[in-house]
Structure formats: structure tokens, C-alpha cells
Amino acid sequence: MTPSLILNIYVVLLLLELSFSLVLDWLNVNFIKTNSTTVPEYLKDSIDEETHKKSVKYSLVKLKFSMVSTLINGGILLALVLSGSFGLLDNWIVGLDLNIYGEGVLYFLIFSLSFYFLSLPFSLYSTFVIEESFGFNKTTPKLWIFDQIKSILISSIFLVLMVAGLLWFMSTTGDRWWIYGFIFVATIQLFLVYIYPLWIAPLFNKFTELSDEELKNKIQEVTKKAGYKAEAVFVMDGSRRSKHANAYFTGFGKGKRIVLYDTLIETLNENQLLSVLAHEIGHEKLNHIKKGLLMSLAILLVGFYIINLLINYEPLFFAFGFDRTSYHGALVLFSFASAPITFWLSPLFSRLSRIHEYEADSFAVKIMNSITGLKTALVELSKKSLSNFTPHPLYSFFHYSHPTLHERIKAMEGIDVKAS
């Protein structure tokens, strides 16, 4: 293929992705307006009219903001591609007379940081305008700035190490570089999964072991019933940044832990909290985290293989303004040029995630021998977060990693346990 044909194909795919994303947002906006005139039937006894109206308004505001950000970000990316900016940056770096490591690391740092800083205005508006206006934001400007600085420093350190290591394998191990490169990057990813809860997460939040002895005893009863070797349950000061509540399971080995937001403990009663905990244990017992990690590694391996096939394909480089082939150029081109294709695969991964959520819900219901705790917990959390109770089916199919509240409740009601 000629460079111009490759460029035209990419532009068409990008425009299709952007257009479809906007259509999904537009469908969701109209679906919410049409189906949210009253509280949904399945929530009649759980949510008052005022909360429902507020959730509708919150969902619409976020969707409209999403449409604007999609247009702006898509326009910026399209302008950069059509202007040959990626190649122009490479030409400038060549003039600095660096070695391949210096060229590659500098290119990636400029490339990554440019997109990072372009995203900051959207992050600011989302946090200090949208979240603030609906009473969710607790982040101060000072805390937000320090969060950004720490994020940049940490991500830059690992980016430099990863890029430098990859370039070494690409330049010294011949045609099998992609196998060694995969092993190298996979090792770093596993290392990050291990150290994140131990060293990185504490840089942003305070984690303390649950101190409520009565609750700890009841948690031990649940973990014993679930056949789970009880690790320490940590409480995270999520209220420093937001009123949103959550719980998650992270890490492996000594870094394995269940984390409960302090806002979650404040929001839920004891039975609800234990049910949420059982749900998180379900993810671990059913190997959802390991399955997700294996899938991401499989995708990584395929990605490296494709890069290897294209690494010396000059028309691809020329299409995006490069005057030469290069190792770092191949990595960068694949990272953004593949996005309009992988976008259409996202429903497959979302589908798998939703299946895992159903399985964890079922696990929790059976451990607690009741749907009441988890059902009411999900409703309460959805109320507090002003969730969209009536998303368009196609929108949730593409974007939702969790089933909708209605779908989860319906599935739980079909589980053969004695409700209490």
C-alpha cells in the first residue's frame, strides 16, 4: 500500500470511531430523557423522586461533556496526524544527535507528556466543575496539583525504564526481539501489580487496617465461609478526594489485599458491607484477576508480534510524516494507530468483565445466603453516586464494564437461595 492510502484508511477509521462514539452518547442522552420521566419501576420503593431527577441531570451533564471532549480530542489527534507532527518531532530529535536510547526515550516522553497535558483541562473541568456542582468533589487545588506531579514522576520513571529496555532488546536480539520484549514488559507489569498496593498507592492515599473489632470478627466469619485465607482488610481515605464509594481487590502474594473506601463504610450498614466484601472475595476465589491479567498479557504478546511485522514497513512510517523507520517510531505508531481498530473490540472485553461481575455477585449471594445485603448495597451505592439507572442498551454494551443495576438485581433474584 502507498503511504497516502494508509493515511486515508487511518483517517476513515478514526472518523468512524469518533462518529460512533458521538452517536452512542447521543443515543444515551435521548434514551435517558425518554425513559427517566419517573423513577424506574424496579426502584420505586428505593429511590425518591428528587434523587432520581438529580441522577438524570448528572448523567446528562457528563454525557454532554463526553461529547465535547470527544470532538476536541478527536480534532486535535486528526490535526496532528494530517500535519505530520509525529514525523516532525522525530526529525527534530534526529538533529540532536543522540543514540537510539536517547532518541526513543525523549520521543516517548514528549509524546506521552503532550497528550497528558492536553487532557488536564478536561480533568480540571470534570473535577472542579461537574463533580463540584453535584457535591462529590473533595479534592483541593493543592491536592490535585500534587497528585498530577506524583503521577507524572512515577509514570515517567517506569516509561523511561520500559522504553530503554525495549529498545535494547529490539537492537540486540534480532528477529526474536518481540518475544524477549514481551517477557521484559510482562515482568514489569507483574512487578507493578505487586508493588502498587505496597508502595505506589500509599503515595496518594492513606491505608489503615480495619480497626472495628466487631466488624473484623464478622469479616473473618465471611472469609472462613468463603474458603478464603483472610488477609488484612484496609480502609482507604477516599473521602479526601471524592464522596464516591468503592471497594476493590488488588495485588498478589504479600501485596494482596481488599480495600474499602472510608466512604463505603460510612454509606453501608454492616450486612451490606459484608456482602460487598463477599463480592470482592468472589473475584479472587474465581480467579477473575488472574484471568484478566492473562488476557492482557496475551494481547500484549499479539501486539508485539504485529509491531515486529511492521517494524521495517516504510509506507506506514511515511504515511504519518516520518522520514525513516525506527524502533521507537514503530512502538508509537502502533500505540495510537491501532486504537481505531481495538475500539471495536472493546465490547468483547466489557462483556467478559460483566460476566465476572455476575459470577462475583452470585458468589456473594450464596456465601451470605441472601440477596438482600448485596442488592440493597448496590442500590444504596447507585443512589449516592447518582448512577444512570436507564442507560441505552447499546451504550452500556460498548462502555459498561459492569452490568447495569437493573441487570444485576434481576440476575440475583434468579439465584436459588433463601432471601432474608
| DSSP code per residue over 368-417 | HT-SHHHHHHHHHHHHHHT--SS--HHHHHHH-SS--HHHHHHHHHTS-S
Q: How many whole angstroms separate alpha carbon 344 and alpha carbon 17? A: 8
Residue 1 to residue 178: CA distance in whole angstroms:
24
Choose among 5, 322, 181: nearest CA to 189. Answer: 181
Active site residue 45: no
φ/ψ of 195, rounded to 5, equals: -85, -20
Taking 3-state DSSP, the helix, strand and coil percentages for the chain, each rounded to the nearest 5, stand at: 75, 5, 20
CA separation (Å) from 24 to 119, 207, 306? 21, 38, 30
Distances (CA, A) of 92 to 40, 118, 334: 58, 21, 21
Q: What is the pLDDT along the chain (420 residues), one digit of tens a residue?
A: 899 999 999 999 999 999 999 999 999 999 999 988 899 989 998 999 999 999 999 999 999 999 999 999 999 999 999 999 999 999 999 999 999 999 999 999 999 999 999 999 999 999 999 999 999 999 999 999 999 999 999 999 999 999 999 999 999 999 999 999 999 999 999 999 888 888 999 999 999 988 888 888 898 899 889 888 766 789 999 999 999 988 887 767 666 778 899 999 999 999 999 999 999 999 989 999 889 989 999 999 999 999 999 999 999 999 999 999 999 999 999 988 899 999 999 999 999 999 999 999 999 999 999 999 999 999 999 999 999 999 999 999 999 999 999 999 999 999 987 644
What's the rounded Cα separation, in Å, for the pair 226 and 371?
A: 16
The domain locations on the chain are 3-203+291-347
Active site residue 357: no
Instruction: Choose the catalytic residue: 17, 103, 357, 361.
Output: 361
The CA distances from residue 245 to 53, 233, 239, 340, in Å, are: 20, 16, 8, 33
User: Smallest Cα–Cα separation from 185: which of 327, 298, 107?
Assistant: 298
Q: Report the alpha-carbon distance of residue 371 to residue 366 in Å, rounded.
A: 8
Element (H, E) at 261: strand 257-261
From the list 25, 103, 280, 357, the catalytic residue is 280
